[in-house]
């Protein structure tokens, strides 16, 4: 078997976000004080920055919440809800509110995207090795056998009780970080923080605007050259969440790339014309679920989604090097790449 080259990237970052270890204070133009905190959780480098006198306390509480969500939602930790579900052999399991919320949201977005988001793909992800680092290219017959257990519509969830069919297993990797961003924002607000921004790998989420009242600038990576930025958008009070084919992948001896977002239709890396999907909206959980789902859906189905659903802006990159973005971004979008950029026309 080929020696695989693996790459894990984060897709969006905050142009001016400072990295540091632990918390540190720095003077700010508006005489406000900002504190930053670095956390490694959910297999992701996270950076949080908050302004104001309560920033330190808010960051500490947020850090604790991140670790507790990791414990609840991790697919590999034996004490997690997901582990209990995946070892339940078809029996009912009692889960916490967070897990129930994420499962329900994943089902809802699966329904809205023709089943593109399917949290029961986990056995297939394992077969490819995307859950560890031992990658391999499975035979289609093996994938087909595993796909016979994949079907999120067979999940039975009622309040805090869930039943997942025997042999089915779930993974909330497509939605956990988006929800974590929402929960961090909630804690910041509860602590009186009015201005903050976090970067959780490919996810950026902002509370309010910068302390001087101006918008935050968020850069989105160029999927064809992930060390460089493709565009910058200005936002306040929004999540900016990207799924791309460059974030976690391996290549075989012939240079073919296999990435971590799978198409439930055939169990193979989703290859429907899009190489990156960025979703901008109010709710990190929704945006995270959608970035994965629309990546699988491809360009035309994503346009259909936009016709039927309000409240999101998108930046799509097609495999023929065109950036498409929604009308709502016209004022805030700057293309800093040499790719063509076009507004998405919905009729
Ligand atoms: P990341 O978390 O890497 O930034 P995503 O939010 O797009 O990117 O989530 C990708 C993760 O979602 C994969 O690592 C895997 O755990 C899971 N996944 C992959 N394909 C699907 C799918 N079609 N439906 C649901 N979950 C998926
Ligand atoms: Mg996602």
Rounded to whole angstroms, how far apart are CA atoms 319 and 263?
16
Question: Which ligand 1 atom minimizes the distance to the CA of 119?
Answer: 25
CB-side neighbour CA atoms (13 Å) of 333 = 22
Please state, in angstroms and rounded to a whole number, the distance separating the CA atoms of residues 69 and 173: 12
Phi and psi at residue 294, to the nearest 5°: -75, -30
Burial class (CB in 10 A: 0-12, 13-18, 19+), 69: buried
Minimal-distance CA residue to ligand 1 atom 5: 174
Average pLDDT over residues 218-233: 96
The Cα–Cα gap between 310 and 160 comes to 30
Which residues belong to the annotated binding site?
A: 174, 288, 292
262 touches 124 (CB < 8 A):
yes
Which atom, in ligand 1's list, is nearest to the CA of 11? Answer: 4
Query: How far does the chain reach from its first CA to its final CA, in angstroms?
Result: 47
Residue 59 gets the label, from left (phi > 0), alpha (psi -120 to 50) or beta, of alpha
Three-state DSSP at 299 gives helix
Mutation probe of ligand 1 site: the residue of 82, 261, 276, 294 with most atoms within 8 A of C-beta? 261
* Substitution site in 45, 240, 260 for ligand 1 pocket (most atoms within 8 Å of beta carbon): 260
Strands 340-343 and 322-325: parallel
Please determine, for residue 21, whether its predicted confidence score (pLDDT) is greater than 60: no
Nearest ligand to the CA of 246 is: 1
Phi first, then psi, for residue 44 (nearest 5°) are -140, 140
Minimum-distance ligand to the CA of 125? 1
Q: Is pLDDT of 65 > 80?
A: yes
Nearest-atom number in ligand 1 for the CA of 178 is 6
User: pLDDT at position 70, please?
Assistant: 97
pLDDT digits (tens, 9 = 90+) for 77-93: 999 999 999 999 999 99
The residue with tokens 């039943």 is: 163
Q: What's the pLDDT at 33?
A: 87
How does residue 29 score in pLDDT terms, banded at 50, 70 and 90?
very low
238 has pLDDT over 80: yes
- Ligand 1 pocket, CB under 6 A: 116-119, 121, 125, 130, 171, 173-174, 177, 201-202, 243, 247-248, 260-262, 264, 288, 291-292, 296
pLDDT at residue number 202: 73
Q: Which atom of ligand 1 is nearest to the CA of 175?
A: 6
> Is the distance from CB of 324 to CB of 342 less than 8 angstroms?
yes
Closest CA to 135 of 226, 255, 2: 2
pLDDT of residue 16: 41
What pTM does this model have? 0.93
- Sign of the CA dihedral running 105, 313, 176, 267: positive
Rounded-to-integer distance, Cα 176 and Cα 193, Å:
23
Query: Maximum CA pair distance of the chain?
Result: 63
Q: 9: closest CA among 274, 295, 203?
A: 203
Q: Which of 288, 192, 199 is nearest to 10 (CA)?
A: 199
- Round to whole Å and give the CA distance between 117 and 301: 13
> CA-CA distance, 221 to 264, in Å (whole number)?
26
- Measuring CA to CA, how many Å separate 190 from each of 87, 193, 247, 290? 36, 7, 33, 27
Residues in the 5 Å CB sphere of ion ligand 2 = 174, 288, 291-292
Which domains does the chain carry?
5-70+177-343 (3.10.520.10), 76-163 (1.10.3980.10)
């Amino acid at each position: 078997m080929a020696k695989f080259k693996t790459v894990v990237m984060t897709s969006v970052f905050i142009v001016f976000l400072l990295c540091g270890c632990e918390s540190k204070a720095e003077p700010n133009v508006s005489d406000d004080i900002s504190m930053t905190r670095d956390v490694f959780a959910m297999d992701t480098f996270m950076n949080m920055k908050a302004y104001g006198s309560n920033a330190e306390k808010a960051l500490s509480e947020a850090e604790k919440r991140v670790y507790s969500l990791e414990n609840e939602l991790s697919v590999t930790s034996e004490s997690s809800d997901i582990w209990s579900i995946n070892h339940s052999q078809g029996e009912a399991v009692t889960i916490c509110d967070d897990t129930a919320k994420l499962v329900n949201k994943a089902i809802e977005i699966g329904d809205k995207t023709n089943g593109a988001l399917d949290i029961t793909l986990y056995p297939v992800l394992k077969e490819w090795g995307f859950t560890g680092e031992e990658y391999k290219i499975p035979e289609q017959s093996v994938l087909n056998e595993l796909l016979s257990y994949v079907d999120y519509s067979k999940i039975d969830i009622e309040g805090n009780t869930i039943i997942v069919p025997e042999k089915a297993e779930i993974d909330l990797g497509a939605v956990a970080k988006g929800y974590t961003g929402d929960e961090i924002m909630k804690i910041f607000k509860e602590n009186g923080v009015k201005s903050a921004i976090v970067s959780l790998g490919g996810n950026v989420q902002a509370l309010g605007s910068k302390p001087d009242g101006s918008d935050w600038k968020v850069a989105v990576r160029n999927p064809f050259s992930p060390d460089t930025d493709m565009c910058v958008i200005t936002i306040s009070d929004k999540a900016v969440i990207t799924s791309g084919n460059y974030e976690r992948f391996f290549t075989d001896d012939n240079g073919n790339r296999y990435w971590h977002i799978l198409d439930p239709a055939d169990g193979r890396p989703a290859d429907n014309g899009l190489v990156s999907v960025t979703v901008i909206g109010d709710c990190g959980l929704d945006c995270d679920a959608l970035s994965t789902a629309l990546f699988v859906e491809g360009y035309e189905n994503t346009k259909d989604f936009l016709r039927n659903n309000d409240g999101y802006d998108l930046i799509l990159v097609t495999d023929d090097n065109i950036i498409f973005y929604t009308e709502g971004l016209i004022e805030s979008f700057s293309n800093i790449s040499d790719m063509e950029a076009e507004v998405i026309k919905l009729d």
